[in-house]
Amino acid sequence: MTEDSSSSSGVDLARKSGFRLRVVLAALLLLFCALCIVLLRGCTNDPWPSGFSSSDTYFTNYSSEFKTFDPAVSYYVHEGEVLDSIVEMPVCYDYLKRPYELVPMLAESVPVPVYYGKSGEVLTGDPPSDAVSRVEYLVRVRRGIKYQPHPCFGVSPDGKGAYAGVDSKSLKAYSSLSEFPVQGTREMTAVDFKVAVTRLCDTRLASPIYSTFASFILGMDECSSLIKAEVARLEQESQSCGIRLESYPVVPDYRTLPLAGFELIDDHTFKLVLSRKYPQAIYWMALHFFSPVPFEALEFYAEPGVVDAGYSFKNWPVGTGAYMMTECKLREGLTLVKNPNFRDEFYPSSGSESDKALGLLADSGKRLPFIERIRFQYERESIPIWIKFLQGYYDTSGIPSDMYDAAVTLETNGDMGLSPEMAAKGMAMTRSVTAISYYLGFNMLDPTVGGLTPEKKKLRQAISIAVDYQEFIDVFMNGRGVPGQSILPPGIYGCVEGEAGVNPFVDQWDAESGKTVRQPLARAKELMVEAGYPNGIGPDGKPLVLYYDASGSSSQSKATFLWLREKMSQLGIVLEERLTDLNRFRDKIRTGQWQLQFTGWVADYPDPENFLFLFCGENGIVATQGRGSNKTNYSSSEYDKVFKRLETMANGPERMALIDEAVKILQEDAPCCWGYHPMSLVLTHGWLKNYKPHHVGKTFMKNLRIESEARTEYQKRENAPVLWPGYLVVLLVLLVGSWRLYVWRS
């Protein structure tokens, strides 16, 4: 009896506890389903903060992180796109004109050089380099140009800087410099250029262009030593005050430190003095290294309170440009907004007929900038960028290799065109050849492939014929490139396109297709015979073995090597790969311990000198113990003579003839198998206006215009969430869950 009652009370207890559990589970199930429905209703794939997508904002992205926006240090293209929207230079490139043409920006006019002879007399015309002992550029900067609003210009009632001695705690309440309560501005003056140029000499900044500038601006090395001494003195003072130097670096007064190459004439005029004739100096004035730096900004960013609050000049540049930084998270994203103090600047009113046809002149004469805000978003992977572009959340995009077939179709004439699917979405595709040359270099110091004897030249020419870069472009780059005829890329002065520009030693003109094609392989085999390697067999009776030196072993580089080996085998040459890590590879380049390597050069400025100097004998990387850029170690007295003449000459028929001569020498000597010039393919949405790629200048953002309403409409159309699968899943969960609970009860 006792046993029975305890057993039945145990069962009751179990039933009650089971019932309670079922109730709890049923409630949880309902709650879960309700939560799912609420979440589904709130779904959106809009990656931007509320209201951003429909605003007048240009959305773009970057996949390599930004390192610095300090104009003395920044040297990467993607950094330049941001920085050059904030700061301005004495001159810049015309947005529409091709070939690239310099126009005044902060300067009243494009400065012209004045040459002085050895006895100080002014030399007229275009004097030879050796007659010139001094060059002066007189730069008159425009009056009334004001800096962006910035706390560094803020003044307290007692006349001192508003943030002198500020406590970091009071600044940490703000998330951006633009939120600081006291802002100010002032007129830009010539002294600010003095600060900018003198700062380049500060060893602590390790400015990447110091060596280049020091080679032509007078007195930079001396100035560098002076700054070093001044910094040591200031550091000693700081240390005696107990200031931690690693956290709060001292700032020497760059305004007063003497630099022989920079003469201040008055508030709006300065003179840049060069130690030698170097006409390309004007192109450097179009780079942000020459943008004015207000000394107040350096003082502001040196304030311990400002440093502790996390602000620095390298992240928050100050300038006179069309935009100013309002958010800076280097590994997340940046936001620029219109500079309210931006001077009167207007959209260019002259361009080519094709510009007109593309509607690029529709905004002629309108005040710049057009767009209120620019958002740079850090995106490391190409697929998310592509999807967001299709969804209308980015305004432009490149074409990832995986998506090439979806975006591009081949037209009947073999050209690339936009796929009908993309065209139907209102997109446009812009194609342009970049100012970059990639090539397969031969080490001219190598006993097998180097040297200038006729046999060696023929060996290199034969290899150049066999290595067909049009095929490489088709196989590895989806056709996005142009085979090189010389080191000069299309668009650079001196590059001859069409039949006249054909490399006669390697290529030939195909009149039918109107394109350059490689000479037949039989010609390469003939050259091999003349070089002493019939069918690739050397005088010793063994096959010629060459070595391809490379760093890294990605699948792409492996595939490239296999392709090269297959091409060489057509001539009977055995190609072997020598892989090393990047550091050892660089050592091999510096010491000349290599045979073949694939390399390239990106233009600093649109002048042939910037490419042809890569083959000047005195720039040989081995000869200069690593200082030169002539990686192939090519050295030809004939070429050097021609190069030295054209190097500093003004563009004109005489220079053109010399460039032709230099190119012909290089084509015959073949220190490289001229590779290709990559083509940039950019897709833009229909609402983005005035887009024209510029491969040298980076000041283009102010010219862009967005039709935000069209974008919003597209975004709404393309991004309405598909909710029924979600509801279906919720319903299934509800049904299955209920059934399980019911079965359990039973």
Partner 1 sequence: MLAYIVRRILYVIPTLLGVNVLVFVLFFLVNSPDDMARQALGEKNSDPVQVERWKEAHGYDVPLFWNGNASGIGRVTKTVFFTKSLSMMWGDFGKSDMTHESIGDEIVRRALPSLCVTAPIFLATLLINVFLAMLVATARGSVTDRVTQFACVVFMSISTLIYIIAGQYFFAKLLRWTPVSGYLPGLDCWKFLALPILVGVISSLGSGIRLYRTLFLEEINKDYVRTARAKGLPEWQILFLHVLKNAMIPILTNVPLQLLMLMMGNMMLENFFSIPGLGGYTITALNAQDFAIVRSMVFLGSFLYVVGLLLTDICYSLVDPRIRLG
Judged by the rule CB under 8 A, the positions of this chain that interact with partner 1 are 10-11, 14, 17-18, 21, 39-40, 43-47, 49-50, 64-68, 75, 203-206, 208-211, 310, 312, 314, 329-332, 377-381, 383-384, 387-388, 390-391, 581-583, 586, 602, 604, 625-627, 629, 719-722, 725-726
- If the CB atoms of residues 389 and 676 are measured against partner 1, the closer one turns out to be 389
- If the CB atoms of residues 8 and 453 are measured against partner 1, the closer one turns out to be 8
CB of 745 to partner 1, least distance (A): 13
Nearest CA to 310 among 294, 329, 297, 326?
A: 329
Residue 404 tokens read as 């090439």
Q: What are phi and psi of 131, to 5 degrees?
A: -85, -15
How many whole angstroms separate alpha carbon 469 and alpha carbon 484? Answer: 8
- If the CB atoms of residues 14 and 112 are measured against partner 1, the closer one turns out to be 14
Nearest CA to 278 among 656, 654, 653, 650?
A: 650
- If the CB atoms of residues 189 and 619 are measured against partner 1, the closer one turns out to be 619
How many whole angstroms separate alpha carbon 335 and alpha carbon 326? Answer: 6
CB of 4 to partner 1, least distance (A): 14
Peptide bond into 340 cis (omega under 30): no
How many whole angstroms separate alpha carbon 444 and alpha carbon 143? Answer: 53
- If the CB atoms of residues 547 and 585 are measured against partner 1, the closer one turns out to be 585
How many whole angstroms separate alpha carbon 324 and alpha carbon 340? Answer: 9
- If the CB atoms of residues 14 and 529 are measured against partner 1, the closer one turns out to be 14
Nearest CA to 431 among 449, 451, 407?
A: 407
342, containing H or E segment: none
CB of 208 to partner 1, least distance (A): 4
How many whole angstroms separate alpha carbon 150 and alpha carbon 317? Answer: 10
CB of 746 to partner 1, least distance (A): 15
How many whole angstroms separate alpha carbon 202 and alpha carbon 250? Answer: 12
- If the CB atoms of residues 153 and 393 are measured against partner 1, the closer one turns out to be 393
How many whole angstroms separate alpha carbon 286 and alpha carbon 383? Answer: 35
How many whole angstroms separate alpha carbon 293 and alpha carbon 191? Answer: 9
- If the CB atoms of residues 21 and 265 are measured against partner 1, the closer one turns out to be 21
Angle between helices 2-41 and 724-745 (to 10 degrees): 170
CB of 586 to partner 1, least distance (A): 6
The position carrying tokens 């040591």 is 232
The position carrying tokens 């602590």 is 204
DSSP state for residue 148 in the 8-state scheme: P
Q: Measure the CA dihedral 375/380/383/389, to 10°.
A: 10
How many whole angstroms separate alpha carbon 316 and alpha carbon 313? Answer: 5
Query: What SS3 class is residue 40?
Result: helix
- If the CB atoms of residues 214 and 649 are measured against partner 1, the closer one turns out to be 214
User: Can you list the positions of beta strands (E) in 500-610?
Assistant: 507-510, 515-518, 545-551, 574-580, 596-602
- If the CB atoms of residues 24 and 410 are measured against partner 1, the closer one turns out to be 24
CB of 204 to partner 1, least distance (A): 5
- If the CB atoms of residues 305 and 726 are measured against partner 1, the closer one turns out to be 726
- If the CB atoms of residues 536 and 608 are measured against partner 1, the closer one turns out to be 608
Residue 133 tokens read as 């002992």
List the alpha helices (DSSP H) in 630-707.
637-647, 653-669
Q: How far, in Å, are 90, 105, 191, 222, 261 from residue 140 at the CA level?
A: 9, 11, 12, 26, 16
CB of 387 to partner 1, least distance (A): 5
- If the CB atoms of residues 411 and 618 are measured against partner 1, the closer one turns out to be 618
CB of 14 to partner 1, least distance (A): 6
How many whole angstroms separate alpha carbon 614 and alpha carbon 666? Answer: 11
CB of 273 to partner 1, least distance (A): 21
326, containing H or E segment: strand 323-329
Q: Half-sphere exposure of 294 toward its Cβ, with a 13 Å CA cutoff?
A: 27
Handedness of CA 585, 591, 595, 598 (dihedral sign): positive
- If the CB atoms of residues 205 and 579 are measured against partner 1, the closer one turns out to be 205
CB of 677 to partner 1, least distance (A): 18
CB of 617 to partner 1, least distance (A): 17
Query: What SS3 class is residue 201?
Result: coil
CB of 266 to partner 1, least distance (A): 33
CB of 210 to partner 1, least distance (A): 7
- If the CB atoms of residues 346 and 744 are measured against partner 1, the closer one turns out to be 744
CB of 62 to partner 1, least distance (A): 11
- If the CB atoms of residues 348 and 620 are measured against partner 1, the closer one turns out to be 620
CB of 17 to partner 1, least distance (A): 7
- If the CB atoms of residues 396 and 519 are measured against partner 1, the closer one turns out to be 396
Residue 587 tokens read as 């050592």
Residue 97 tokens read as 């004109």
CB of 440 to partner 1, least distance (A): 16
Cα of 375 vs its chain's centroid, Å:
17
Residue 503 tokens read as 């490399």
How many whole angstroms separate alpha carbon 676 and alpha carbon 488? Answer: 10
How many whole angstroms separate alpha carbon 59 and alpha carbon 32? Answer: 37
Strand order in 333-338's β-sheet? 57-62, 373-378, 333-338, 323-329
| Contact (CB, 8 A) for 425 and 438 | no
Q: Enumerate residues 6+ apart whose C-beta is below 8 A from 314.
A: 68, 69, 70, 73
CB of 309 to partner 1, least distance (A): 11
CB of 719 to partner 1, least distance (A): 5
- If the CB atoms of residues 233 and 586 are measured against partner 1, the closer one turns out to be 586
